[in-house]
Chains A and B, each alone.
Chain A
Amino acid sequence: MAALFTGTSGYSYGEWVDAGVYPKGTHAANMLTAYTRHFNAVELNYTWYQMPKAPSLERMAAQVPGNFMFSLKLTRTLTHEVDKTLWKDEAAAFRRAVAPLVDTQKLLSILVQLPPYFRRTPDRRAYLAALLEEFTGLPMAVEFRHPSWVNDKVFYEFERRNITLVTVDGPPLPHLFPRLDLVTNPDLIYLRLHGRNSAGWRSGNMQKQFDYDYSETELRETAALMTQRLMPGARAGALFFNNHVRGQAPKNCLRLAAILQAH
């Protein structure tokens, strides 16, 4: 059976203590350790805001059990605020930073989350190809947010390069990249669940955008998607909940893991 890594997008949320995810009085410095008691993977969001630092990742890797994996969001200077003259240096810096995770075999994937305005244009196609080239040899997963990328040529190229196309669960709104149950890289399938809060999605406030509690039916559907469409034939799977508000992500994730285990 394929290995399945489940977790949430980020783990350091003060409100999760109030929500009962972490024991009362848990200091932020101890949250990762507390988190590892429930999950075997985490998606690090802070690496989008700032270039990660190797010593910091090394310390994190030392705090987690042997089978625990990290997925790192690629820094914004490589996805959202790209400087044509500097991006290659930034990519090299990112590669250097993740080296401790590569060495300890704790790097699940590098998540390239592209902005909603990142349309499919010749320039951007060329940039994305060059960017992925810079990370050759590392596990890469790409999350598109503009529907113009729904194109067989894109998926074929991902298959050829062993790049994972992220399957996204979000609200049913127009102009979003749709949920595609495509496996472009059998080494790793990657599902991100953002919640389906249509009303708050474009509010500009993360607390509204990601405020969603998946129902039992929705979680069972997601489990079916994993077991019937995505996981067969895959060697590993990653599943991350991003609806972090009020501790809903860990609650939903634990429930989905239980459903999957019962399958």
Chain B
Amino acid sequence: MSHRDIIHLNIADFAAGIEACIDPALRNEPLVIAPTGAPRAVVYDMNEPAFKEGIRKGMPLSRVKRQHRGVPVLPPRFNRYERAMKDVFKQGLTYTPAVESGCRDGHLFLDITGTSRLYGPPPDVAFRLKKSVKKSLGLEPIWSLATSKLVAKVATRMVKPLGEYIVGPGEEEAFLGPLPLSLLPGLSKEEIRTATRFNLVRISQIRTLTPAQMDIPFPGRAAAVRRLLKGIDPSPVSPSRPGRLRADHEFADDTNDADELTAGLALMAAALAGRLCSRNETLRSLTLTISYSDGVCHTESAKAQGGLESALFRQSRSLFRAAWKRRVRIRHMALTCTAGPVAPVQADLFASPGPDNSPRTDRLSGAMAEIRARFGNAAVRPAAALAIP
């Protein structure tokens, strides 16, 4: 099998970096991103000076405030991070259509296999991409180049918070060998803990085990783990599919008020339905992502059950019920759908001509879309959205 050229861009401390770009005074001092009004809030992100002071993601904010008095704390602004992520994504698209981005986390994978005739040697593409991201966002990403996503990801972890790493084809095993197990993606915390109990802390140590021995710390997963240890990862860089629409809502204050959350869902459903209508497309699948105030995200997906606003709203509510698993307040929700052309429907041979026979809900949705197209989204809104002023 011919090798692949995978670039991994990792903008360390993405959220804190974006905030520091907006206010450069925050750049060289410790900065923490965490919900300020939420009880039991935890750190969502922090910059390098804060990291050096011992502040970590997921740390309770109350503890940070107690131990590091005077450290500025900013609430997370997911919309900003998302816009910045989109910008980086677009820059990646200039080199390859195979770009995969994380969820507002500053991570981007690009598969640039076979593009060297157009854009030059892969290290040069990675280097130019880094420079263009730095120029447009003011943030310097770490970059790595390897033959798989797994190895590329480990490579950027090696040089955090700044730098680059090229792992040449055929060097994967030698590169991974001396590294601690904790750097390898794809292993659960429990698996790492078990291996450590057996005094197996380096990747090269585990490679020496027989399959039967491997089955003890990694029951049922020995073969999969062995592949990981060798740096074998055939998973493709999954580009975001065309025809994907997205609406999101960020709450002014973190909330777990059911009415407010329902209102947010209604607004997103209305926005998506309007866009589907204007593109004359129908819904294929629906995904809801909710982001808690501590930065934890939950996602639920389902196949579409109808593209009208009312159906979209109903379905997003059921997705929400499945995704809402914690008592922590919610800061942000995003509704993403895949869409496609409306399937041609054969007209009823004996349908009576005359007034529109479509159901009332269809006609209502159509009318609302028309009003919104003419007077703006705020001109008409579902009653369920009234909880949000």
Q: Is the CB of A28 within 8 A of B168?
A: yes
Q: Which residues of A contact B51 (CB under 8 A)?
A: none
User: B364 at the A/B interface (Cβ < 8 Å)?
Assistant: no
A55 to B2, CA, bound (A): 24
Q: Which residues of A contact B116 (CB under 8 A)?
A: 13-15, 207
Q: Which residues of A contact B171 (CB under 8 A)?
A: 29, 56, 59
> By DSSP majority rule, is chain A's interface helix, strand, loop, or mixed?
helix
A25 to B116, CA, bound (A): 17
Q: Is the CB of A28 within 8 A of B3?
A: yes
Q: Is the CB of A29 within 8 A of B117?
A: no
Taking CB as reference atom, which chain B residue is nearest A29?
B170
A49 contact from B113, B147, B166, Cβ within 8 A: B166
Q: Give min CB distance, B127 to chain A, whole Å.
A: 6
Q: Is the CB of B121 within 8 A of A206?
A: yes
Taking CB as reference atom, which chain A residue is nearest B165?
A50
User: A198 at the A/B interface (Cβ < 8 Å)?
Assistant: no
Q: Is the CB of A28 within 8 A of B166?
A: no
A49 to B155, CA, bound (A): 14
Q: Is the CB of B166 within 8 A of A46?
A: yes
Q: Is the CB of B168 within 8 A of A56?
A: yes
User: A197 at the A/B interface (Cβ < 8 Å)?
Assistant: no
Q: Is the CB of B119 within 8 A of A207?
A: yes
Contact with A along B117-133 (1 / 0, CB 8 A): 11111011011000000
A178 to B142, CA, bound (A): 36
Contacts A14-B114, A55-B174; A45 near B121 (Cβ below 8 A): yes
User: B164 at the A/B interface (Cβ < 8 Å)?
Assistant: yes
Contacts A13-B116, A14-B116, A207-B120; A49 near B170 (Cβ below 8 A): no
A246 to B116, CA, bound (A): 10
Contact with B along A7-39 (1 / 0, CB 8 A): 000101111000000000101111000000000
Contacts A50-B164, A59-B174; A10 near B121 (Cβ below 8 A): yes
A166 to B48, CA, bound (A): 42
Contacts A29-B3, A49-B123; A207 near B117 (Cβ below 8 A): yes
Q: Which residues of A contact B126 (CB under 8 A)?
A: 49
Q: Which residues of A contact B121 (CB under 8 A)?
A: 10, 12-13, 45, 206, 244
Q: Which residues of A contact B170 (CB under 8 A)?
A: 27-30
Taking CB as reference atom, which chain B residue is nearest A60?
B168
Q: Which residues of B contact A10 (CB under 8 A)?
A: 121
Q: Give min CB distance, A112 to chain B, whole Å.
A: 19
User: A121 at the A/B interface (Cβ < 8 Å)?
Assistant: no
Q: Which residues of B contact A67 (CB under 8 A)?
A: none
A12 to B168, CA, bound (A): 9
